[in-house]
């Protein structure tokens, strides 16, 4: 079964039924619609403090 539309798969486009469904899947990957679940919370990037020393 095609994971996009649930029609029978076609050998030329496996695991999809057509080029249309294959391209739909590709666009979902490119648009980052698919995600791998993790248990790690997202951490914000830490920027280092400004360490400019003045010469007095």
Q: What is the tens place of the pLDDT at every residue in 26-45? A: 999 999 998 888 887 766 55
User: What is the pLDDT, as a whole number, of residue 38?
Assistant: 81
Q: Could you read off the pLDDT of 6-24 as tens digits, one per residue?
A: 999 999 999 999 999 999 9
Q: Is the pLDDT of residue 4 over 60?
A: yes
Q: Tell me, what's the pLDDT at 56?
A: 59
3-28 CB burial, b ≥16 within 10 A, e <16: ebeeeeeeeeeeebbbeebbeebeee
pTM for the structure as a whole = 0.61
Determine the pLDDT at residue 53.
60
The CA-based dihedral angle spanning residues 50, 51, 52, 56, taken in that order and rounded to the nearest 10 degrees: 140
Where do the structural domains in the chain lie, given as residue ranges? 1-33
């Amino acid at each position: 079964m095609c994971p996009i539309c649930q029609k029978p798969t076609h050998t030329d486009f496996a695991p999809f039924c057509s080029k249309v469904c294959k391209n739909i899947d590709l666009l979902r990957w490119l648009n980052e619609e698919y995600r791998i679940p993790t248990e790690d919370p997202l951490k914000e990037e830490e920027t280092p403090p400004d360490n400019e020393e003045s010469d007095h």
